[in-house]
Amino acid sequence: MLRTVLFLTLFLMLAGGPAAAGADDVRPAETGAVLTARSAPAPLAPLPAWSEAAIEELAIALFDAPSHGLPSLDGTAEDLLDRSLPHEHRASMATRAFLRFGGWLRYGLTDSETHALYTPDDTERAGLHNALAAALADGGVAQTLDGFAPELGEYRALRAEMLRMMALQPIWPRIEPGSSLALGDRGPRVDQLRARLAAVGVYRENWAAGEAFDVRLETAVRRYQGRGNLSPSGQMDQATLRELNITPQERMAQLRVNLEQRRWQSREPGRRHIRVNLADFTLEAWQDGQLARRHRVMVGRQVSSTPEFSEDMQYLVLNPWWGIPGGLAQSRFRSFRRNPGLAAQMGFRIYDASGTQISVYDIDWSRWGRGWPYRMSQPPGSNNPMGEVKFIFPNSHNVYIHDTTERDRFSETRRDFSAACIRVHDPLVLAEWVLSSQPGWDAEQIEQVAAGNTPTVVWLDERLPVHINYWTVVSDADGDVRYLNDLYRRDGAVIRRFEGAYAQASGPENGRIASRGGVQASLN
């Protein structure tokens, strides 16, 4: 009963409207001690004694663990509230529970690379310990734990959605497998589609069985597809059917992973940084915890999917050359073999193995498929697909952010068109933000240089972290949660790895920090 009341209270608090859950809203850190990761460990402060009030406050906070997508700590919370157990044992249990739950909130349950259970390093453990010491001294145990969680409104929105799913335990209609559905179709599967869309709030409730697939239903399908970044055709195609038939349990697993991914990102994002969400086709520029800019992007096609990684931007190039990668170069060489004049028409430069520029007519086509020694590049200009600017953050994937000549395609909902690089809308505006702290590079200067054809490298005075993410649950500015199409089919593997670690952390030896039996044994 206590847990139910807590969930409902938390849900009402978190779902309180745009001010509570807006994507741009950021809470100030309220921890009693600053946690500085990856620095020299701070000296350990002495821990004040646990009062009964502090133990109770911690126990109530532990009941919240599942709402963060974390393993239940209910058993530990119940033991902490059981005053028949000796105070000294409950105090010791409270310290371990605080450090464990606090570590999960601050650093994540799992390692972002190995997906094994994450073990805080000495510096991180010292930060948690000293935060506990400050909390016990100031009487703010729950407030300190709350401050460990990511300080983004989007995290609170996702957590509110988790609470809603936990409280309602929804059961929604399933659509039987079959062919795609479109205008004019009739039958039980059309009825199932209507019921499913009504369950997610994009279709009216009052409809009659047997009605044909009409324009009203087509509009509802388009709305659903648009929210999930599916191509808004208005037809229930196989991709849409797959999304509609994801179960509530699968959605909760997806939510748990996305909450964990936000905790990973919060570890060391950088004072100024760029985040790209591949699944949402968006780029965000952040400064001092505030969203400064949002841009639409295009990402890699499924056969050339954009990877997830983080690196530091070191410089940008206005009017960049395009060094054409091998696969794309091959297709162009084939075109030049059929029509050599295209090379000059498109402005391509061709080089042999020694780096000497040669004419397209000097290519030895007998070498095709046998140690092909030629490469090509394209100078700045209106035909260069790099456009006016390229942002360089050296990485092993050879993936960067740049302008494009296909700017009209930014109006499309699903934007997986590239060969893995990230094409950004309004790139000169993004360049202005990137260079905003560098003298001599205001908007006028950037536009003046970009208007020419001279390649210009601008080194950043301060490196800028760039985080390429793949998050399939996001929130809008008003706090509404959207489940996105799993464009690259990556969620399944990530969820399986996370659930393995989740189960390990939920085991009988971990579910309770100290079992009742263990305490009783120590008394005998």
The residues that are catalytic are 402, 421
CA nearest 191: which of 224, 225, 214, 169? 214
Cα(195)–Cα(175) distance, integer angstroms: 9
Q: Is the dihedral of CA 120, 121, 122, 128 positive or negative?
A: negative
Q: Calculate ∠ Cα 275-106-4, nearest 5°.
A: 110
Cα(146)–Cα(150) distance, integer angstroms: 9
Q: Which two tokens stand for residue 427?
A: 């790139």
HEC string for 192-244: HHHHHHHHCCCCCCCCCCCCCCCHHHHHHHHHHHHHCCCCCCCCECHHHHHHH
Q: Which contiguous run of DSSP H or E holds residue 28?
A: none
Q: Which contiguous run of DSSP H or E holds residue 134?
A: helix 122-138
Q: Calculate ∠ Cα 138-139-142, nearest 5°.
A: 120
Cα(73)–Cα(75) distance, integer angstroms: 6
What does the DSSP 8-state code read for residue 110? B
Cα(54)–Cα(222) distance, integer angstroms: 51
**HSE of 223, CA atoms in CB hemisphere, 13 A:** 13
Q: Which two tokens stand for residue 322?
A: 């395009």
For 378, residues 6+ apart whose C-beta sits below 8 A from its C-beta are 321, 322, 324, 346, 347, 348, 349, 384, 385
CA nearest 233: which of 413, 484, 481, 476? 413
Contact 149, 31 (CB under 8 A): no
Cα(199)–Cα(178) distance, integer angstroms: 21
Please report, as a single letter, which amino acid is at residue 102: G
| Helix and strand totals (H; E) in the chain | 19, 15
Q: Calculate ∠ Cα 101-107-111, nearest 5°.
A: 110
For 19, counting Cβ atoms within 10 Å of its Cβ (0-12 exposed, 13-18 middle, 19+ buried), the class is exposed
What does the DSSP 8-state code read for residue 179? S
Q: Which two tokens stand for residue 24?
A: 């741009």
What does the DSSP 8-state code read for residue 366? G
